[in-house]
């Protein structure tokens, strides 16, 4: 038994936790949570289940590790990120950078939105909430928001960013691969214009704006509305 145990240990050491998580992310991207099983993972890694269980106890731990790895990469500052014209603009520019990093990452990994929502609602002490709160909260403090209101302002930012990014990813995930976005928007715009004028005057009025909108640009516009609200609520004299 001893030689077999040593061979198992050597295989487990050669197959690192990082490689297992990397392969799990690849499977999640291609097949979603249902497609991530220990059987498919062992096939992809060309190993036995024992080598994987040496590093990861179960699927829940593996999903948490994959979420943490992808989120950490999204929130890691890159050289030259959020360059601003002056120091006063730096916190706002960094919030933009963090928000776009999350938006693009969730867009690239549609399964991530569900994992983030699950952690925030069921286990907010895990990696998601602290990472995102820290990345945004430091900048909220730098904007001059009074400390008594840091949580409220930062939570508003976090919920907007993750909610909008998650909805964008959900739209992409539910659409068929061959779906033409322009055709869908045109059809939706026409349908809105045909709604009852008395019941839906606003929806009819914005039908053309919806048809030509850009998801990323609208995301940033909404972010600026939230930031403008924070600035209005906590003007310089109160900071």
pLDDT confidence of residue 7? 47
Q: E strands along 100-148, which residues?
A: none
**DSSP3 helix / strand / coil % (the chain, rounded to 5):** 75, 0, 25
Residues 175, 65, 16, 51: is their CA dihedral positive or negative? negative
Instruction: Determine the 3-state secondary structure of 46 from DSSP.
Output: coil
Neighbours of 205 (CB within 10 A): 12
Residues 125, 128, 132, 138: is their CA dihedral positive or negative? positive
Residue spans per domain, the chain = 1-56, 71-238
End-to-end CA distance of the chain: 68
Task: Using alpha carbons, select from 150, 152, 120 the residue that is nearest to residue 138.
Answer: 150
Question: Average pLDDT per run of 10 along the chain, which is 239 residues long?
Answer: 46 75 95 92 90 91 94 80 62 95 93 89 84 95 95 96 90 63 89 96 95 92 96 78
pLDDT confidence of residue 39? 92
What single-letter DSSP state applies at residue 161? H
User: What superfamily in CATH does domain 1-56 come from?
Assistant: Homeodomain-like (1.10.10.60)
Give the distance from CA 152 to its chain's centroid.
20
User: What superfamily in CATH does domain 71-238 come from?
Assistant: Tetracycline Repressor, domain 2 (1.10.357.10)
pLDDT confidence of residue 162? 95
- Please tell me if the domain spanning 1-56 has the same topology as the one spanning 71-238: no
What the block records as the tokens of 129 is 């909430």
pLDDT confidence of residue 144? 93
Contact 211, 188 (CB under 8 A): yes
pLDDT confidence of residue 1? 43
Q: How far apart are CA 31 and CA 196, in angstroms?
A: 41
pLDDT confidence of residue 8? 46
pLDDT confidence of residue 77? 76
What the block records as the tokens of 88 is 């006063």
Q: How far apart are CA 182 and CA 145, in angstroms?
A: 41
Task: Using alpha carbons, select from 166, 26, 156, 153 the residue that is nearest to residue 103.
Answer: 166
């Amino acid at each position: 038994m001893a030689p077999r145990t040593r061979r198992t240990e050597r295989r487990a050491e050669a197959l690192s936790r990082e490689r297992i998580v990397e392969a799990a992310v690849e499977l999640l991207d291609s097949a979603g949570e249902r497609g991530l099983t220990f059987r498919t993972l062992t096939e992809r890694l060309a190993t036995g289940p024992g080598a994987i269980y040496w590093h990861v106890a179960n699927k829940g731990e593996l999903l948490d590790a994959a979420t943490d790895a992808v989120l950490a990469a999204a929130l890691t500052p890159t050289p030259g990120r959020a360059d601003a014209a002056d120091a006063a603009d730096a916190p706002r520019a960094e919030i933009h950078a963090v928000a776009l990093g999350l938006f693009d990452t969730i867009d690239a990994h549609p399964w991530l939105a569900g994992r983030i929502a699950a952690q925030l609602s069921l286990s907010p002490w895990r990696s998601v909430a602290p990472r995102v709160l820290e990345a945004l909260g430091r900048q909220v403090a730098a904007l001059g928001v009074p400390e008594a209101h840091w949580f409220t302002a930062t939570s508003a930012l976090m919920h907007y960013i993750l909610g909008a990014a998650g909805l964008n990813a959900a739209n992409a995930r539910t659409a068929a691969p061959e779906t033409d976005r322009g055709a869908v928007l045109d059809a939706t715009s026409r349908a809105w214009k045909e709604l009852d004028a008395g019941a839906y005057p606003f929806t009819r009025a914005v039908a053309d704006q919806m048809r030509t909108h850009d998801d990323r640009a609208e995301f940033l516009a909404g972010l600026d509305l939230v930031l403008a609200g924070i600035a209005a609520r906590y003007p310089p004299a109160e900071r």
